[in-house]
Structure 1
Amino acid sequence: MRPDPQRHVSVGSIGPDRRSERPRRVHRTNWMALLCGLLFVGIGVRYLTGPPPDAVIMAPVLVGGLGFAAFVAIIAKALRR
């Protein structure tokens, strides 16, 4: 194909205009969800491997893990302000 002589493209219009781009949004880490998810996965892996753990042991681990996740989330929120 031959280039169209009537059509002129300037070099500056080839790429996107930097001024018209939207500002990049930064997502903050949701520490509560992250730590609770890791706790869930960890307990699930523990139940899948080896002999099943005792529920008397796992209940305080679960409550303590959720409490720790809440504590970290509160501290992170206080530090962001």
Structure 2
Amino acid sequence: MAREMDRPRRVHRTDWMALLSGLLFIALGIMVVIRGITDALVLIGLLMLGLAFAGLVAIVARVVRGK
């Protein structure tokens, strides 16, 4: 047990682009299934805006992290 405590703990950084993109696709998928979005143009517009937002958050997170 002492050996386990001596090892440095690995830190896994959050991949914000992947996390937000996955949440976006889940949310848009639910909206399509429940017929909340019926127009393909609206769906594509929301998809592009959501991916742009996820990219912006990922860039800001990387700058703040200092990488």
Shared fold per TM-score greater than 0.5 = yes
Larger radius of gyration: 1
RMSD of the TM alignment (CA)?
A: 1.8
Task: Give the structure-1-normalised TM-score.
Answer: 0.73
Q: Deviations over 1:32-52 (max 9, x none)?
A: 000000000001101111365
Where in structure 2 are there 5+ consecutive unaligned residues? none
Q: Which has the higher helix share?
A: 2
Where in structure 1 are there 5+ consecutive unaligned residues? 1-15
Task: Give the structure-2-normalised TM-score.
Answer: 0.87
Percent of aligned pairs sharing the same letter: 47
Which of the pair has the greater relative contact order for Cα pairs under 8 Å at 6+ separation? 2
